[in-house]
């Protein structure tokens, strides 16, 4: 499926999805947290992911990401590296160390600033599972999410 979205065509406010942490409410649909200080990026990714059938929650700062993780309990986190509050690296590291006894979310870093090989290595070392650069290739992002969904569904 190809997505062509003009940012001006997006609704200013997406339909709210309940922020309930009860997984029974959503069934087996993946829960995805999108964190970026650019509201156009958040709105675009949320629109595309919801169109694919995922449950999406947004946060706009690194400081808002950790409480959102605790309340929303996402399966996947898509996090910009350079956001106000806490950097994406710090958030990933905090999640990596706080989810030692339960299933940790699959974490995808996105960045428009930090694009070099050393930046990717730091992302990997802090806990990110994948790294994409901006402008984000939505097909590549959807492939990563779908591969994760299939790996989770397959018998361990």
Dihedral angle sign, alpha carbons of residues 75, 78, 82, 84: negative
Q: DSSP letter at 60?
A: S
Q: What is the residue range of 94's domain? A: 28-153
How many domains does the chain fold into? 1
Question: Is the pLDDT confidence value at 65 over 80?
Answer: yes
Find where tokens 């990026």 sit: 41
Among 80, 152, 75, CA closest to 113: 80
* Reported pTM: 0.79
pLDDT digits (tens, 9 = 90+) for 128-156: 999 998 888 899 999 999 999 988 776 65
Which of the four pLDDT bands, split at 50, 70 and 90, describes residue 7?
Answer: very low
CA contacts within 13 A on the Cβ side of 148: 23
Give the pLDDT confidence score for residue 55 in this predicted structure. 97
Using pLDDT thresholds of 50, 70 and 90, give the confidence band for residue 2. Answer: very low
pLDDT tens column, 87-114: 999 999 998 888 765 678 999 999 876 5
**CATH code, 55:** 3.40.50.2300
* Structure tokens that stand for 137 in this block: 């290739």
Give the sign of the dihedral formed by CA 116, CA 120, CA 126, CA 131.
positive
The pLDDT tens digits of the residues spanning 27-62 come to 578 999 999 999 999 999 999 999 999 999 999 999
Residue 112 lies in a domain: yes
142 within a domain of the structure (yes/no): yes
Flag whether 3 is in a domain: no
Within a domain: 10: no
What the block records as the tokens of 98 is 């706080």
Residue 22 domain flag: no
User: Residue 76 domain-assigned?
Assistant: yes
> Does residue 125 fall inside a structural domain?
yes
pLDDT for 101 equals 59
Residue 7 lies in a domain: no
């Amino acid at each position: 499926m190809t997505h062509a979205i003009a940012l001006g065509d997006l609704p200013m406010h997406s339909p709210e999805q309940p922020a309930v942490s009860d997984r029974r409410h959503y069934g087996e649909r993946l829960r995805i947290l999108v964190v970026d200080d650019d509201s156009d990026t958040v709105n675009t990714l949320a629109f595309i992911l919801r169109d694919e059938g995922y449950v999406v929650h947004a946060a706009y700062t690194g400081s808002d990401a950790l409480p959102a993780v605790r309340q929303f309990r996402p399966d996947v986190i898509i996090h910009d590296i350079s956001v106000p509050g806490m950097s994406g690296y710090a958030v990933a590291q905090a999640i990596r160390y706080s989810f030692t006894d339960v299933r940790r979310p699959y974490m995808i870093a996105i960045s428009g600033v930090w694009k070099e090989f050393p930046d990717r290595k730091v992302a990997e070392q802090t806990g990110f599972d994948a790294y994409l650069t901006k402008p984000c290739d939505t097909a590549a992002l959807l492939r990563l999410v779908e591969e994760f969904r299939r790996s989770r569904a397959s018998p361990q």
